Structures are given as structure tokens and as C-alpha cells.
Structure 1
Amino acid sequence: MPVVSRLFLAAVLSLYLASPASAAQQQVVDKIVAQVNGEMITLFDLNERVKNYVTQVERKPFNPSDPILRELQERMLKAMIEDILLKQEAVRLKVNISDAEVETRIRELREKGGLSEAQFVQQLRLEGMTRKQFADAIKRDILKKQLLGYMVQRKVVVTDEEIRAYFEQNKSGLRVQTGQRIGLIMLAKPEEAKALRQRIVSGQISFADAARKFSIGPGAEQGGDLGKVDLKDLAPELAQAIRNVPQGGVSEPVMLDGKPVLLTMAAPDAPAAAAQASGGPSYESVRDEIQDRLYKEKLEKQFTDYMDKLRAKSVIKINL
């Protein structure tokens, strides 16, 4: 039986921990720390989320007297209120998620973790979840993303004129993107990383295909591509591992957050290389970076404005 990665379980847990309390928790009579249009969040519910997040996602000992928990409480309560507002808005707009969509997402997650259905259910049980609880959390997550996609992302457009204007106004302070394209594959066990590296090096499978099929790390669906990264911006252990790897080569497995990873480095593209040689940024060399920056700024503002509007038309009482 393959071993489920902690990263995979963290993704599973993050969905579950962000979901409303179970029926057993909701029956507990406790202080009400927030009401969102009549829907209550109890102190017990909030504290359980904080405890589970610390012990199961961050994998740290839980110390209820730790002063940093107050900040975590406030952040998690804010997120819980936002989730309730989005859920209520989805009901109002009649946004529905089919069981087929939920099962498709669960299958994708399960297969990415290398689990059969029976193994998946067993791992959920070990983490204190039933399959139905997880399916409910997945449904809420899909609903939230669909709602945000419809109400927020569709309104975010970055024009060529905006990109060019930003470049002209800020080019003296723009840095030529000298980073190189880094690929990463994260696996569950060191022996798996060693075996997969040998397959890549011997030409049995490409790095990108191996990432799509086996990686449990970021960028897996994009073939492990992390985009352009300066080595100095990498975690020290990763920078050291890839420093002497030739372009297109594969590093030896290196541990990151308790998981083995393989790295590769592609050759810099022509625009970036030309910009570096000329000593200044060309529009082409920084265009994608500017577009990404402007898109993120607009998306964040749209989301903030959207949530502000939902709060403004809601009755929210906080008593933390």
C-alpha cells in the first residue's frame, strides 16, 4: 500500500478544517463567538479548528496558552465568516454542485495521493474524517471557487495598454528577470525519489511527465514548473542541491519539509538572456511579470470589494 504524503493529507485536512462543524460539534452548548445572518460559530468550534490546524496541518505541539494562538484564532474566525457568507451567497444565487463533480474531484485527489478507494477511506478515518464529511467539504470548496470565479475572476482583465503604462512608469525600478525556470517533483519517500530520478536520467520518462504523474508538490499539473526563480530566492537546501546541476539535468533527492524532492533547471529564454546582456529591462523581458503582478493586484482588490459588499448587506456579530 502506498504511503500517503503529509502534503496530500494537509490538503485534505485544510478542506475539512475550513468546513462547518460536524453535527456532534454543533450540538455542544458553548459561547457564541460570531453570528453571520443568524448562522452561529461557537468558541468550541473555533478552538477545535485552531487546535486541529496546529497539530494536523502545521504538525506542531498544541499549547493553548501560546499567545500566538490569539492571532490564529482571529484569522481563522475571519476565514470562517467569509466561508459562511460565500455559502449563503451561493444559496441565494442558486449555484449548485452535482454529486458527479464532487466524485470527480475526490478521484483526482485520491489518485494524486496514489491511493485506492479503500486506502483513501482508511486514511480519512485515521485523520478523524468520514468519506461523507470529506465529500461535503469538497462540495463546499468547488461551490466557493465557482462563485468566486463568476463574481470576481471574470471581472479581472489586464490590458496591453495597462501593462505598457506600468512598464513606462516603473522601468527604472524594474529588475531584469534573471531567474531560471525551475522544475520540482515532490514524493512521499526517499526511495521513491531515487527510483524516479533514475528513470528520468535514463530517458524512460521526461521530468515533466514524471511530475504530472507522481509529484505531490506544487506545479505538478504544469509538469513541476515553478516558473522563473532566482537561486537566492529558493530555500537554502534547494539552492544548494541544484547549484551544480547542468541545465536539463536532475538533482539528487533533497529533503524539504520532511519530503524528498527532485529539481531540474531549464535554459533561460532568449528575451530574458538578451535583457540581462543589455544591462536593462526590455518590455518583452518583463511583460509577463508585469501582467501577473497587475492581475494579482486587481484580483485581490475585486475579492476584497466583493467580500466588503457581502459584509455590508449582512448582519454579523462578533464576540471573541
Structure 2
Amino acid sequence: MIKKVFLMVFTLAWLQISLAAGTEVVDRIVAVVNDEIITLVELDKMLSPYKTKIEAGAGSEKRKKEMMESLERKMLHQMIDKSLANQEAKKYHIQVTEPELDRAIENFKKQNKFTQENFEKALEAQGMTYEGYRDRIRQEILQSRLINRAVRSKVIITDIDIKAYYEEHLEEFSGIEKYELRNILMKDEKAINEVKNKLDRNADFKLLAEENSLAPNAREGGYLGIFDINNFSDAVKDELIHLKKGDHTGIIQIDQGFQILFVEEIVREGGKTLDQARDEIQKILYKEKEREKFAQWLESLKENAHVKIML
């Protein structure tokens, strides 16, 4: 009851000030969050960069209107979340000082090699002001501290979670498969066919390369090096992709003539075992569960708060 009376008095006072100033009342309250209000002017300020992009984009006026209305609702809910989080931060005496903001921004600029001028131009290109960016960083730091206080102790990552993530993302941790290759390069198609026939009967590739290849690496038995075959042309990749160690391709026509490739070895680079990937996975899962718990915590705040939307 006290909250409602306070809000009514606050709202009436706000309207009286606007009228007393002799200005047209174009602003209005679009949401009430406990004892705080969100106004149309505040919402429009948040929407402004996106509104410009939508208006400049392709599509019918009807479609643009639908996009703006959807974005307006989404942004308002984000502002409500922000208001609730800020109220909780005040309750716990959590704050972000100006020097802390300065350090965070300077660190970001240093990491990305930005001067202040270039930094502000980059923000402008994204439709954001320097003050708007400061406010966003303030909110991120505040949220991090709220997470520390409200949800971090509830986040538990088990060995079962880590193993399941590793198995679901096995390709990410298996590294890049690379092929160690040799080749024989010849100008005459008939001659290279004879060489291939010998290879098909298990002749020594290195010896045949030394005796027949026209490439500069003939002395080294046609040794080429180690390659990620995804960087090769589709024609060469298709020849290699199904081969095993010790296999050779068919005859491949190239600008310099005809060649046969030999798979000396297939190796994996950059792969990680479960134990090697454990810390990395734990951090990923921790962040995911942290966001999930924080969202749940915000929902519980909404359930116990006085939130009224008047958009």
C-alpha cells in the first residue's frame, strides 16, 4: 500500500512539473517496477539506434512496424530486468565506481589498440554514445557482482556434466586431421600410367619418385610436407579423403602435367583429451549455468515484485 501511494504521488508530481513548465506532455510512463518508473522517453532512447537501422532497411512499412513493436516489447522487458537488478544491487550495497568504469574501459581500449578518438568512432558506427557504452559496462559489472552474491554458490558442475559436453562436442576437441604427402609429377600421361601400375602392385613410392618425378622434391622421394586437405581443390580433396596411410591416389591432371599423391601419414593437430579439455569445458558450463541461474533469479524477483506494463 505504501508503495502504491508513493508511486501515485510521484507520478502526479512528475505531471505537475511538466505542466508547470508550460511544455506539452509527450512523455508517459510505460512501466512501473516497484517504486521506480520507466518512461517512454527512456525507452525511445534505448530503441533509437535500432530504429534507425530498421527504417533504413528493406521491407514494407507494415513489416518495419511489426519489427519495431516486437523490439519495443523486448527492450522494455530488458529495462524492467535492469531496474529489478539495480534495486537488488542497492539493497546489497553493491555499486560500481567511476574509477572502476574508467579502468574497465581503458583495459578494453588497450586490448583492442583503440585511441579514444577511434573508440568513440567505433561506438558511433554501432549507434552508441560513449556515455551509453559506460552505462552498459556499469551494468555488466553490476550484474557480475550480483551473480557472485545471488547465484554463484548455487552453480555446480559435475564430472558427468563435463564428460557429456566433451562427447557432444567431440569434433571441437578432436583437432584437425592433416595428411603427410609425397607426390610423383610427370608430363607424359602414358609414362605416369606405367608408374601407377607399378604402385598398384605395391612398388616403393619413394624409389619411383626419385627415378621418375620431374618435381624439385624428387630427390627426397617426392616428399611434400603436412597439409590440411580442406585447403586443397575439391578434385584433390576427393581423391585423398578416403585414403589410409600407405595409399596412393589415382592420376590427377594439374597445370604442370599429371601427378600421383601418396599418404605417408595421417596426423591430428590441436586435439585434446577429456583431461586436457576439462578446465576449458568447466568454464564454458559454468558460464552457461550462471546465466541460467541468473535468469531464474530474475524471474523470482518479478514474481515477488510489483511490475505493471503500460505500453
The TM-score, its normalising length taken from structure 1, stands at 0.48
Structure showing greater radius of gyration is: 2
The TM-score, its normalising length taken from structure 2, stands at 0.50
